[in-house]
Amino acid sequence: MTGCAIEIVEKRFPAVAGAPARTVLGEIVLDLPADQFVAVTGPSGCGKTTLLNIVAGLDLDWRGRLELPRRPDGSVSLAYMFQTPRLLPWRTVAENLALVRPRGIADPAGWIRRRLAAVGLDEGVAAVYPGRLSQGMSRRVALARALAVEPDLLLMDEPFASLDGAAAGQLRALVARLWRERPMTVVLVTHDLREALGLADRIVLLGGAPARVLADRANPLPFNRRCDDDAVEPALRALAGRFARELNEPQTGGHHEDHDQDGGHLEGGRCGDFRSAAGADGHGGVGGGRPCHPRQAAARTDIRHQER
Ligand SMILES: Nc1ncnc2c1ncn2[C@@H]1O[C@H](COP(=O)(O)OP(=O)(O)O)[C@@H](O)[C@H]1O
Ligand SMILES: [Mg+2]
């Protein structure tokens, strides 16, 4: 399996209805090795979704080059979990999943059952319409639909953002486990640095106008400490401080090189051992969706509203 190479020169939205044209993305060069889990973060409106849309092939109007992971037969398998689940409301859960069912499956109902089970849903959910599902269940169905194509590249746009802490923590843990069981390249857009530290091998900060890569860091936490609050808290403070400085620094024209991916922290297995926010102590760890020092950490580590 090959990795993914993104080389954006420029993404410009044309003037529409009185709004002037705007260059949203400047030079963005990212090499994503096969099976790497990358978190992309940055202030709201900086162009993260635009970047995912480009990688997904939904936006073809940009300058640059894109190389997607290819299988030996040259095919590409990519899935995109949008910011909202985007299930078709007039179709049941089973009918939504059936849209992505591979041809020639001998036991379609069994296939649906297995897809649901993989994301922790029982088969009773199959006959339900999306409008009757909780937010967390809708997300799980969206995840099941994304994984049904057995992607080599999974794009996720703030997939946990609208969930309460418990549901978000459970879903993060699920994503971590599924990735460990079946590795794939993941690009997760998130504004939550705690989430990024809990899940990703590598954390990329976008910012500026037009946006470019302001920082590109290996997760400083070895895999087995990503659930350990004693390790997470200082790493989180350091990362948040550093990213805040990057965002507030006057931007120079060139590409700010901050690659430290050879720093030795990318080895060592994968995390899947999140504590659930619904667990015994009611607190989330890294993946629990709830900081240990909620006010303090939430203010520092959510970079949505950092200045651009
Ligand atoms: N179709 C569009 N036409 C014009 N501007 C757009 C369009 N889509 C997004 N934008 C603008 O591009 C910028 C980046 O948007 P987006 O990628 O959604 O940001 P993010 O996901 O980082 O919050 C925003 O200012 C947004 O208003
Ligand atoms: Mg977005």
At residue 308, does pLDDT exceed 50? no
Protein residue whose Cα sits closest to atom 7 of ligand 1 = 13
Report the percent of the chain where pLDDT is more than 90. 71
CATH of the domain at 157: 3.40.50.300
Protein residue whose Cα sits closest to atom 3 of ligand 1 = 13
288 and 214, same structural domain? yes
At residue 66, does pLDDT exceed 80? yes
306 touches ligand 1 (CB under 6 Å): no
* Residues 113/124, Cβ–Cβ less than 8 Å: no
Which regions of the chain does DSSP assign to beta strands (E)? 4-13, 22-25, 28-32, 37-41, 63-67, 78-81, 153-157, 185-189, 202-207, 212-218
At residue 267, does pLDDT exceed 80? no
Reading the block at residue 220, the tokens are 């400083």
At residue 274, does pLDDT exceed 50? no
Q: Which residue in 144, 162, 192 sits closest to 48, CA to CA?
A: 192
257 and 170, same structural domain? yes
Q: Whole-prediction pTM value?
A: 0.84
Ligand 1 center to 150 CA (angstroms): 29
pLDDT tens digit sequence for 287-296: 333 333 333 3
243 and 277, same structural domain? yes
pLDDT tens digit sequence for 91-135: 999 999 999 998 889 999 999 999 999 999 999 999 999 999 999
Q: For residue 156, give the 3-state DSSP assignment.
A: strand
Number of domains in the chain: 2
190 touches ligand 1 (CB under 6 Å): no
218 and 99, same structural domain? no
How far is the CA of 150 from the CAs of 76, 80, 100, 107, 123, in angstroms?
A: 10, 12, 10, 18, 20
191 touches ligand 1 (CB under 6 Å): no
For ion ligand 2, residues whose CB falls within 5 Å: 48-49
Tell me, rounded to whole angstroms, the distance of Cα 36 from its chain centroid. Answer: 12
At residue 268, does pLDDT exceed 60? no
Residue 252: the pLDDT is 57
23 touches ligand 1 (CB under 6 Å): no
301 touches ligand 1 (CB under 6 Å): no
**CA pair distance 236, 4, nearest whole angstrom:** 27
193 and 61, same structural domain? yes
Most confident of 107-116, 217-226, 255-264: 107-116
Q: Give the residue-averaged pLDDT of 172-194.
A: 94
Report the percent of the chain where pLDDT is more than 70. 81
**CA pair distance 306, 235, nearest whole angstrom:** 19
What residue numbers bound the domain in which 92 lies?
82-150
201 and 156, same structural domain? yes
97 and 27, same structural domain? no
pLDDT band at 3; cut points 50, 70, 90: confident
Q: Give the residue-averaged pLDDT of 241-246.
A: 94
Q: Which residue has the tokens 């967390």?
A: 136
At residue 151, does pLDDT exceed 90? yes
Residue 301: the pLDDT is 66
At residue 221, does pLDDT exceed 90? yes
Q: Is residue 307 part of a domain?
A: no
Q: Is residue 198 part of a domain?
A: yes
Among 46, 155, 213, say which to mutate for ligand 1: greatest number of ligand atoms within 8 Å of CB: 46
At residue 63, does pLDDT exceed 80? yes
What number of residues does the chain have? 308
Q: Give the residue-averaged pLDDT of 182-205.
A: 96
Q: Give the residue-averaged pLDDT of 6-22.
A: 94
Q: Is residue 167 part of a domain?
A: yes
Q: Is residue 36 part of a domain?
A: yes
At residue 257, does pLDDT exceed 60? no
**CA pair distance 168, 171, nearest whole angstrom:** 5
163 and 142, same structural domain? no
**Cα Rg for the chain, rounded, in angstroms?**
19
Q: Is residue 306 part of a domain?
A: no
Protein residue whose Cα sits closest to atom 26 of ligand 1 = 45
Mean pLDDT of the chain: 84
Ligand sitting nearest the alpha carbon of 82:
2
172 and 140, same structural domain? no
Which regions of 135-183 does DSSP assign to beta strands (E)? 153-157
At residue 269, does pLDDT exceed 80? no
156 and 146, same structural domain? no
Q: Is residue 95 part of a domain?
A: yes
Which of 5-9, 107-111, 246-250 has the least mean pLDDT? 246-250
Ligand sitting nearest the alpha carbon of 304:
1
Looking at 119, 150, 181, which one is the last position of a domain?
A: 150
Q: Is residue 127 part of a domain?
A: yes
Q: Give the residue-averaged pLDDT of 64-69.
A: 96
Residue 17: the pLDDT is 87
pLDDT band at 18; cut points 50, 70, 90: confident
Residue 255: the pLDDT is 44
Looking at 101, 132, 150, which one is the last position of a domain?
A: 150
DSSP for 51-74 reads HHHHHHTS----EEEEE----TTS
**CA pair distance 240, 194, nearest whole angstrom:** 9
Q: Is residue 19 part of a domain?
A: yes
Looking at 129, 150, 171, which one is the last position of a domain?
A: 150
72 and 27, same structural domain? yes
**CA pair distance 213, 42, nearest whole angstrom:** 9
47 and 193, same structural domain? yes
